[in-house]
Homo-oligomer: A and B are copies of this chain.
Amino acid sequence: MEGGAGRGLECQKIMDGKVNENGNVLDKTIIPSCCLKSRASDTELDAKCHATVVSGWFSEPGSRSGEAHSLEVKNILYKEKSEYQEILVFECSTYGKVLVLDGIVQLTEKDECAYQEMITHLPLCGGDGGVLREISRHSSVELIDICEIDKMVIDVSNKFFPELSIGFEDPRVQLHIGDAVEFLRHAPEGKYDAIIVDSSDPVGPAQELVERSFFEMIARALRPGGVLCNMAESMWLHTHLIHDMISICRETFKGSVHYAWTSVPTYPSGVIGFLICSTEGPPVDFIHPINPIENIEGALKHQRELRFYSSEMHAAAFALPSFLKREVPLLRDSPTPAK
């Protein structure tokens, strides 16, 4: 399941005193600028979130974070306001076609592989590997529910990113246009083996996707030992937010809670993290793929060949820099890959 439409989670919702009930007291005096600035009013944020193409260059709004990434625009292919957001598609020389929602780069043709492959295969190949094994044997898979609030995003994907939207053609896919929170609220308890949340900036429709109640709904919708993979921002820019999310998830998911990251050049600071959790049940070893994708017949070349993910990339994604473990003490006792 994919959550809202955007990316670029901010801290405000999570930071408003909802965490740390497990005894991990936040030092309120050390709030990084990324978080402080996200407390600006919604109106202010909205104004800054609009895509800017000036003199042939697109720039992400950097005023909130003190940095900006810019891409040279060869050609604007699409620019339209949907019910929920401003959608922009342009072509740039370095990364090919780029999809931008409300001024934030969502994906580019060149580096989408890193994000899409990692957020999917980290939960599906980790653990007991049963989920992916089941998916690869087509007859045994019952359903893939996808929830997306903004139909225009899917239409744009179909038109400009056919290599991506090919996923919708899978006969197991059930597409739900609507609010992910509402969708999950009505999902039967224990229905899913895995839930993937490609969540958004909590300003606007995706606001609820970073709240404790949302994680509780996810845990409820998962079977015992089921897994969640949730987009979890940049270790360079948002350690405070990562700490808070892990704190919530440690309380909500009674199985394992891990953090992994990967390189995505067109996201802020060039990395994106993933929070990978499992509900109560048999312990899940996320780090070492028990059912390596390389051993699954046809998996590497299904639809388009894998460009980024492999079992070695899987294990390596869980290696965390020293500073992250220091700034997010809850990660200190994480098991390490390799050895």
Task: Using CB atoms and an 8 Å cutoff, list the residues of chain A in contact with chain B.
Answer: 33, 57, 59, 62-63, 65-72, 92-95, 110-111, 113-114, 234, 236-237, 261, 263-265, 269-271, 288, 305-313, 315-323, 326, 336-339
Contacts and interface: CB of A to CB of B under 8 A. Distances in A.
B66 A69 contact: no
Contact of A269 (B62, B67, B68, B270): B270
Nearest to A234: B265
Given A62-B72, A236-B110, A338-B337, A315 B319 contact: yes
| Secondary structure call for the A interface | loop
A94 B33 contact: yes
B337 A308 contact: no
Q: 4 tightest CB-CB pairs across the interface, nearest first?
A: A270-B270, A316-B319, A316-B316, A66-B93
Contacts of A339: 312, 315
A299 to B, nearest CB: 12
Contacts of A65: 94
B338 A322 contact: no
Nearest to A65: B94
A94 B66 contact: yes
23 contacts: A67-B71, A67-B72, A67-B94, A113-B323, A114-B321, A261-B263, A263-B263, A263-B270, A265-B269, A269-B270, A270-B270, A270-B271, A308-B323, A310-B321, A312-B319, A312-B320, A312-B336, A312-B337, A313-B322, A315-B319, A315-B338, A316-B316, A316-B337
Nearest to A70: B68
A200 B64 CA distance: 32
A235 to B, nearest CB: 8
Nearest to A305: B322
A114 B263 CA distance: 14
Name the residue in A95, A318, A319 with the highest tally of chain B Cβ atoms < 10 Å from its Cβ. A319
Contact of A59 (B70, B264, B269, B270): B70
Contacts of A93: 33, 66
A143 to B, nearest CB: 29
A229 B129 CA distance: 37
Contacts of A310: 319, 321-322
Contacts of A110: 236
A70 B63 CA distance: 11
A264 B65 CA distance: 17
A3 B326 CA distance: 32
Contacts of A320: 312-313
Name the residue in A33, A114, A309, A315 with the highest tally of chain B Cβ atoms < 10 Å from its Cβ. A315
